[in-house]
A and B are shown apart, each in its own frame.
Chain A
Amino acid sequence: METPNPYFNPFVLPFVLGTIFLFGICIWKFVRWYKHFDRLQRAIIRKNLLSWKIIPALWEMFREGILHVRIWRKNPMLGYMHSSIALGWFMLILVGFIESHMTPASSHPFWMAIFYRFFITTHQTFPGAQVLTFIMELMLIYVLSGILLAVVKKIYSRILGMKKTTKHILIDRFAKAFLWLIFPLRLLSEVLAASRFQNGGFFTGFLGDLIPPSNEYFLLLSWTLYSCALCGFFVTLPFSRYMHIFSELFLIYFRKMGVREKSERTGYTMYELNACSRCGMCIDNCPLNKELGHNDVQSVYFLRNLRQKKSPIRVADDCLMCQRCASDCPVNIDLMAIRQQERNKHEMDTADNYGYLDTVQPFNAIGRVGYFGGCMSHLTPGVPEAMKAIFEAAGQKYWYMDEDRTMCCGRPLLQQGYNRQASDLRRKLTEMINKSKITMLITSCPICYQSFKKEYKLRIPVIHHTEYIAMLLKTGRIKVRKDDVRTVYHDPCELGRGCGIYKEPREVLKATTHLVKAKQEKEDSLCCGINLGDTLLDIDQQTRIRDAAFQNLMYKHPDQIATACPMCKKAFAHASEFPVKDIAEIVRENLK
């Protein structure tokens, strides 16, 4: 007859079954998503599977999946909360595993590490045993402090610097309740064990000494509850927001391999959707939430809708596409691409709309640079005029592509999901640019700039006029004087967060005028509101968003607003009593 395993007790069963369920469901889901990867994405993964890219991928998985460095940078309190639970628990599992395997025993079942203090009732003497016990106790305190912060955040989130937190659905609340129960129950169980067996460390031992030795009934009850809490968490995990724990690691790995979002949903999108931990960091800074009180359209709710297979047409459309949430997201989920995928689904997209553009005659512009003002620059004629003056001052031959008749770059159509129509326009413009033989394309409109740079496949360099002017200044082709007008710079969304151009406009402004800071700038700048992304807002709502952005610029009481986007210029021109100028206009005024 077999002797019963000394390291088994019926109370481990909920934990064991929960673990098997969890890993079964997770593996099934991950494999299913991987099968829905697009062929190109899979080829990229296969190519890079065991390349050197795996090292930075592993490092980022550890840094973001466990330490949560990006949250630390944004908000140290939140960073502490998230990392205490992630790092603390990870260490408890890792050190617990080492501890249980170092212990001389007839067998080492995998649950032994979890219920170690119940089965190992004496202080161990193997080398390092005391150090391991000390680390385990410390990590338990670390996790408990994080749980305490989470409870405080639940009661009054402003202490942790969050005005609004996510409104969770039922399954998330259940999973969270189980998660919050696990560690206090673990503490209780270990304290009861310590009071009975005297096997506690510095913390549980101390607490164990304070209470009378527990009887076996309470001891078993406590360990059973601990096991059940673990089981409850594991069973709810795959269907709740805590799926991010595993999805995020895979997402980081795939992203480091070079996989990116496509224009329609793939398996990669599923990894992104599940990697959202619904931390709610995208809520507070969303202009729609802050200024208009639209509180169900933020990325966290949008992604959750998609995961729940709800039809989010209104939610997908009600977004400025200002990318503020994308810059706040600690997981760096490609939020704009996912929203675009949903927009692509529901619009009617007809072909052959722009036959009338065939009348555009080819123009031979060999040896010149091309200048594309964009539709909006026709409403701010000062910008192209200033650019003309700058070209002349620099002795640069140029071709103003859309001086009298302007073709749209296609991005406004693309943003609303008219893919084929946008590609029609792109084809026409590409043809025009290729036939003209220009050597470089300079645009004044950040929308066109992003479009030419990312969506067109041009063989010539595309730069924004702020980059061009910065280049002219650096090479000395134009000379400017510096005035002392206090100027604040507004970062256009499409130029800043969209294309990462923050440095050049500031260089130019520092050379020509006295640059002061806005309250929030660069990645944290605010959208001017009068944009093309959101088609559900009316003019009053857009004006409210603009006013907030205007107040943000007024932080240091400047005398002039500078921007690099004709639309932002138009937006602020109505709000401001003093001049709103494009960088090109300021440079032109200060030309020597």
Chain B
Amino acid sequence: MPINFGYSIAPTRAINYDNCDFSKLHELEQAVPSFKRCINCGACTATCSAQQFTSFNIRKIKTLCMDGQYESLGKELKKCMLCGKCTLVCPRGLALRPIIMTMRKIFVTK
């Protein structure tokens, strides 16, 4: 029986980029080139309408996408109401609605 020392070891969160598949990311970047301009400021997430009701985080989605971690994206992306507030507040002028729509096409399975 393992002894409880009051702490545990979390599974490692390190990502080995050599094993990641970035093809979907490239597909997205090609479809909406402004995606590359993002500076991760999080203004989109702060203003998001869906975020007021549930844990929906566009910046997190973006980060996961950049890291090639696509598994949870499909479920998350469905929460977006496509209202477009994020597009208006983005200081870098990203076309966020097209990004979400393209992501849905790539990651959401019907």
Contact = CB atoms under 8 A, between A and B. Distances in A.
Interface of A: 347-348, 350, 353-354, 356-357, 359-360, 375-376, 378-379, 404-408, 410, 412-413, 416, 418, 425, 530, 532, 535-540, 567, 570
A109 to B, nearest CB: 62
Contact of A375 (B54, B79, B84, B94): B84
Given A348-B108, A535-B101, A538-B34, A412 B79 contact: no
A124 B61 CA distance: 86
12 contacts: A350-B110, A360-B53, A379-B85, A407-B49, A408-B81, A408-B83, A412-B83, A532-B84, A537-B95, A538-B93, A538-B95, A539-B94
Nearest to A375: B83
A274 B75 CA distance: 43
Given A376-B88, A405-B52, A348 B83 contact: no
A413 B84 contact: no
A425 B85 CA distance: 17
A348 B82 CA distance: 14
Contact of A404 (B33, B52, B101): B52
A350 B108 CA distance: 9
Contacts of B33: 538
B66 interface: no
Interface residues of B, number: 27
Nearest to B92: A539
A535 B97 contact: yes
Contact of B79 (A353, A404, A413, A540): A353
B59 interface: no
Contact of B82 (A405, A408, A536): A408
A357 B81 CA distance: 11
A539 B34 contact: yes
Contact of A407 (B79, B81, B84, B105): B81
Contact of B84 (A356, A410, A412): A412
B89 interface: yes
B69 interface: no
Interface string B69-99: 0000000001101111100110001110110
Nearest to B75: A353
B57 interface: no
Contacts of A353: 78-79
B98 A567 contact: no
B24 interface: no
Contact of B95 (A405, A412, A539): A539
A25 B53 CA distance: 58
A350 B82 contact: no
A426 to B, nearest CB: 12
B106 to A, nearest CB: 10
Contact of B49 (A375, A532, A537): A375
Contacts of A408: 49, 81-83
A340 to B, nearest CB: 15
A567 B88 contact: yes
B47 A378 contact: yes
Given A354-B81, A416-B82, A425-B81, 13 more contacts: A348-B108, A356-B53, A356-B54, A376-B88, A379-B88, A405-B52, A408-B49, A412-B81, A412-B82, A530-B88, A535-B95, A537-B95, A539-B34
A425 B93 CA distance: 27
A353 B54 CA distance: 12
Contacts of A348: 104-105, 108, 110
B110 A375 contact: no
A410 B81 CA distance: 7
B95 to A, nearest CB: 6
B88 A413 contact: no
A418 B52 CA distance: 22
Which 7 A-B pairs have CB atoms at the shortest separation, nearest pair first?
Answer: A539-B93, A356-B54, A408-B81, A408-B83, A375-B83, A353-B78, A535-B98
A357 B82 contact: no
B82 A413 contact: yes
A377 to B, nearest CB: 10
